[in-house]
C-alpha cells in the first residue's frame, strides 16, 4: 500500500513539476533579478495542502501503527531534506551568481520563509495531534521533513532555477525522495507528506514576497506601478486561502455533554469577478477541521465541515499597493460523522448534519505585482448546527494568495 501511494504521489508531482519549473524560467527571463509570487507554484502548493487535508489519513491511528510496524528503516531523509539548501549556499560561496546578489538579502529571504514554514508546521501539529502510523507520538500531521525539503527545494529553484530547468528538477526530485522516505519508513500518512510539501512551497513564496517589501529594487518598483488589472473593467481573481478558527467557535450541550472547539483551521479555493473597480461577486469552496473537546476530553478525530459560499464583495484602494475589502458570503455546508470515544462502552456521535450559513469579514490586500496579491483576512461565521444543541459561530483569521487577470 505504501509503495502504491508513493507511486501515485510521484506521478502527481511529475505532472505538475513542468509547470513549476517553467514558472522559474519565465520569471528569470522576464523579470531578471526581481521576484514575484508565482501563481503556478501557489496553485500547486495550495492544491497539495487541500488534497492532503481531505484525505482520510488516520486509518485507525495508534492501533494500526502498533500492529503493522514498518519493515523499512532508511535514514537518508534526515539528510536529504537539507541537500538543496547546502547546494544553494555552496554554489553561491564558490562564486556562482544567484538571483539574489547580497548575502544579507538571501539570509533575510531564507529566514522569513523558514519562520513561516516552522510556525505553520508546529502550530498545525499541536492543533491536530494526529497519531503517526508507527504509533510513536501524535505529531504526524503535517510532515515537517517534507515541508523542510520542499522549502529548501523552492529556495534553490528561486535562486538558480532560471539558469537551467534541470536545477529545479534536481531540487524537487530530492524533496520528493525525502517525502516518500517518510511514508516508507512509516513515520507519516500520505496526507501528512502532501500537506507538508504544500506548506514548504507556499512558505517560500510568501517569505520572498514579504522580503520584497523591504528589498524592493528599482525593477521591483517599476513593476509595482499601475495600472493594475483590478482597476480595469471587468477583472477576475482566483486563489487559495488558509485560516485559523479561534477557540469556542463550536459550543453547546449535546445530550447532557458539554461540547466545545479548542481550535480549528480552514483551507480552500476562492474566486471572484468584479464588474467595476469596486463591486464584485465571488465564492469559496473549502473545508474546516476543528479540534473538539467533550467534557474535558479531547477527541482524537477533528470535526470537519465542508462549505460552498457565494456573495457580493466590495473593495477600495488605501495607500500605495494596499487596498481594503469587505465580503458577505452565504452558502451551504455539511458535517461528516465524527465519533468521540468517551469510554469503552460509550461513544458520542457528532456531525451528519447539513444546512445553510453565512460568513462575512474584512480583508487587507497587498499587491506584490500587477497580477498577484497577498490578503490578510478576518471573518465572522455562523453555520447550521453540527449536532442538536451545538452552535457553530465564531471568528477566524488567515491569509490568502490571489492571481488577477
Residue 354 has pLDDT above 80, yes or no: yes
Query: What single string gives the DSSP state of each residue in 297-316?
Result: EEPSSPEEEEEEEEEEEEEE
Q: Please say whether the beta carbons of 141 and 192 come within 8 A.
A: yes
Q: pTM value?
A: 0.56
Portion of the chain with pLDDT greater than 70, in percent:
78
First to last CA, the chain: 42
In this predicted structure, what is the pLDDT of residue 9? 57
pLDDT of residue 344: 60
Architecture of domain 226-404: Beta Barrel (2.40)
Confidence of residue 313 (pLDDT cuts 50, 70, 90): very high
The pLDDT score that the predictor gives to residue 67 is: 38
State how far the Cα of 182 lies from the Cα of 200, in Å rounded to an integer. 15
pLDDT greater than 70 at residue 32: no
Q: Residue 13 has what pLDDT? A: 56
pLDDT at 272: 92
Domain residue spans of the chain: 2-223, 226-404
Q: Calculate the alpha carbon distances from 248 to 12, 47, 384 in Å.
A: 38, 28, 15
- Mean pLDDT of the region 187-199: 88
Q: What is the pLDDT of residue 222?
A: 40
Residue 49 has pLDDT above 80, yes or no: yes
201 has pLDDT over 80: yes
Instruction: Look up residue 229 and give its DSSP letter.
Output: G
- Is the pLDDT at 291 greater than 90? The verdict is no
> Of 262, 248, 268, which Cα lies nearest the Cα of 299?
262
Q: Are 205 and 57 in contact (CB under 8 A)?
A: no
Query: Closest by alpha carbon to 168, among 296, 262, 28, 53?
Result: 28
Q: How many CB atoms lie under 10 A from the CB of residue 379?
A: 21
Set of cell numbers at residue 84: 538543496
| pLDDT of 2 higher than 60 | no
- Structure-model confidence comparison of residues 309 and 245, the more confident one: 309
State pLDDT tens for residues 134-188.
887 888 888 999 999 999 999 999 899 888 888 888 899 899 888 888 888 888 8
Mean pLDDT of the chain: 79
Query: Is residue 315 over pLDDT 50?
Result: yes
Which range, of 5-9, 99-103, 220-224, 249-253, averages the lowest pLDDT?
220-224
CB-based contact 142:52 (threshold 8 Å): yes
Distance CA(351)–CA(251), nearest Å, equals 13
H/E stretch holding 127 reads helix 103-128
Cα angle 125, 121, 35; round to 5: 165
Report pLDDT digits (tens) over 51-83: 777 765 444 333 333 334 444 456 777 888 899
| 286 CB burial (10 A radius; 0-12, 13-18, 19+) | buried
Residue 223 binned pLDDT confidence (cut-offs 50, 70, 90): very low
d(CA 167, CA 154): 11
Spatial separation of the C-alpha atoms in residues 111 and 333, rounded to whole Å: 39
pLDDT score recorded for residue 1: 46
| pLDDT band at residue 35 using 50, 70 and 90 as cut-offs | low
Does residue 274 surpass a pLDDT of 50? yes
Amino acid at each position: 500500500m505504501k509503495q502504491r501511494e508513493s507511486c501515485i504521489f510521484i506521478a502527481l508531482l511529475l505532472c505538475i513539476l513542468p509547470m513549476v519549473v517553467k514558472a522559474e524560467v519565465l520569471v528569470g527571463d522576464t523579470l531578471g533579478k526581481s521576484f514575484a509570487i508565482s501563481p503556478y507554484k501557489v496553485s500547486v502548493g495550495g492544491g497539495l495542502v487541500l488534497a492532503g487535508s481531505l484525505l482520510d489519513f488516520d486509518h485507525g491511528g495508534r492501533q494500526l501503527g502498533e500492529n503493522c510496524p514498518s519493515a523499512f528503516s532508511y535514514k537518508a531523509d534526515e539528510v536529504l531534506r537539507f541537500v538543496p539548501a547546502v547546494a544553494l549556499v555552496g554554489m553561491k560561496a564558490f562564486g556562482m551568481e544567484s538571483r539574489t546578489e547580497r548575502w544579507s538579502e538571501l539570509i533575510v529571504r531564507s529566514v522569513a520563509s523558514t519562520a513561516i514554514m516552522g510556525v505553520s508546521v508546529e502550530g498545525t501539529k499541536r492543533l491536530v495531534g494526529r497519531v503517526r502510523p508507527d504509533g510513536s507520538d501524535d505529531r504526524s500531521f503535517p510532515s515537517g521533513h517534507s515541508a523542510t525539503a520542499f522549502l529548501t527545494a523552492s529556495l534553490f529553484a528561486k535562486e538558480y532555477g532560471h539558469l537551467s530547468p534541470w536545477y529545479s528538477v534536481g531540487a524537487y526530485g530530492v524533496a520528493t525522495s525525502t517525502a516518500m522516505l517518510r511514508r516508507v519508513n512509516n513515520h507519516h500518512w500520505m496526507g501528512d507528506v502532501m500537506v507538508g510539501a504544500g506548506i514548504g512551497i507556499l512558505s517560500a513564496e510568501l517569505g520572498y514576497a514579504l522580503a520584497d517589501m523591504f528589498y524592493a529594487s528599482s525593477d521591483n518598483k517599476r513593476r509595482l506601478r499601475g495600472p493594475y488589472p483590478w482597476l480595469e473593467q471587468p477583472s477576475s481573481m482566483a486563489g487559495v486561502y488558509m485560516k485559523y478558527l479561534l477557540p469556542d467557535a463550536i459550543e453547546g450541550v449535546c445530550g447532557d455533554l458539554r461540547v466545545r472547539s479548542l481550535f480549528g483551521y480552514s483551507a480552500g479555493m476562492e474566486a471572484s469577478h468584479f464588474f467595476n473597480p469596486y463591486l464584485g461577486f465571488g465564492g469559496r469552496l473549502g473545508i474546516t477541521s476543528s479540534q473538539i473537546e467533550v467534557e474535558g476530553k479531547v477527541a482524537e478525530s477533528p470535526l470537519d465541515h465542508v462549505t460552498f459560499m457565494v456573495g457580493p464583495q466590495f473593495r477600495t484602494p488605501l495607500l500605495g499597493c494596499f487596498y481594503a475589502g469587505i465580503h458577505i458570503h452565504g452558502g451551504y455546508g455539511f458535517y461528516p460523522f465524527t465519533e468521540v470515544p468517551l469510554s469503552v462502552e460509550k461513544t458520542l456521535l457528532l456531525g451528519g448534519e447539513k444546512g445553510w450559513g453565512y460568513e462575512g469579514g474584512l480583508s487587507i490586500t497587498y499587491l506584490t505585482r500587477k497580477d498577484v496579491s497577498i490578503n490578510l483576512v478576518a471573518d465572522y461565521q455562523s453555520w447550521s448546527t453540527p449536532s442538536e444543541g451545538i452552535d457553530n459561530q465564531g471568528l477566524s483569521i488567515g491569509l490568502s494568495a490571489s492571481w488577477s487577470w
